[in-house]
Chains A and B, each alone.
Chain A
Amino acid sequence: MNTHPYLRAYMAGTAVPTMMLLVVLTAFLIARYTFHIPIPIERAIIFPMALVPNIFGVWNMFYLWLRPRPHLPIGLHGAILPFILAPIGFALATCSGFLAATSGGLVWFHEVVIPYAFLAAGFAFALIAYYLVWKYLVSFFNEVLGIG
């Protein structure tokens, strides 16, 4: 399997967020209809559905391109991604009207208040999550598709 390695890298990269999309959608539906958190699903789903899988795919293609050159291990390579995704996500959420920056902190979905003090901790957790996902899941799919 030596053909189209970048296409395979893209597919391996998109696999995890595409699978996660079902979990995300289910959780959004439960949050909205069971716990009555006013999540505008049709707007909130744009980022995890349209952007995140594509960016994962492109980031994995970039990893493949870096492979013959000096590069970071795949876990750390993935842990860089929140630095790109978080600003895009925040911008999109603000434009879509379900994220507001107030004096008390960031208000998500008009309900969930995250104080600014917790933002750094939250971002650190995001780095950990991405590190683990890339090190174990994306790397696994890379191996399955013969580019590991």
Chain B
Amino acid sequence: MTKREINKQEMDKKKQERLADLLKHSLTPMNRELDRDLWPKMLQRLDQGARNRNWFAVLFSPSAMSSVPWFDWALLAALIIGICLFPRSIPVWLYQF
């Protein structure tokens, strides 16, 4: 190997080292673990979302309606049919409420 080739190899090595050094400094070190718990923030956002919604909208939202079991719908239907069959009993019902 000639002296010129040795010099070139050394220069390349120095360049590579400098490049590696620059890269190391430009990139922030990566944490394997998050430095904070994100769950409380998530809960806070969910809570804020719920607070911003009208309570009436929450009560009759599609998600609330879909969570009602079928037998409760059946009971409600029976109640409505009962009132329709005996409309004169409505004042008595209202009295009891």
Residues of A within 8 A of B (CB): 17, 20, 23-24, 27-28, 31, 37, 39, 44, 47-48, 52, 82, 85-86, 89, 93, 108-109, 112, 114, 118, 121-122, 125-126, 128-129, 131-132, 135-137, 140, 144
Contact = CB atoms under 8 A, between A and B. Distances in A.
B89 A132 contact: no
Nearest to B88: A112
Contact of A93 (B72, B82, B93, B95): B95
Contacts of B92: 108, 112, 114, 122
B95 A89 contact: yes
9 contacts: A24-B94, A27-B91, A28-B91, A48-B96, A89-B95, A112-B88, A118-B86, A135-B72, A140-B55
Contacts of B75: 128, 131-132
A39 B94 CA distance: 12
Interface in B54-97: 55, 59, 68, 72, 75-76, 78-79, 82, 86, 88-97
A86 B89 contact: no
Contacts of A144: 55
A131 B76 CA distance: 10
A52 B79 CA distance: 20
Contact of B97 (A17, A44, A93, A118): A17
Contacts of B72: 132, 135-136
Most buried by A among B75, B82, B86, B96: B96
Given A31-B91, A48-B94, A82-B96, 11 more contacts: A23-B94, A27-B91, A37-B91, A86-B96, A108-B92, A128-B79, A129-B79, A132-B76, A135-B72, A136-B72, A140-B55
B97 A20 contact: yes
A121 B86 CA distance: 11
Contacts of B96: 48, 52, 82, 85-86, 89, 126
A112 B95 contact: no
A56 B70 CA distance: 26
B97 A125 contact: no
Interface in B6-65: 55, 59
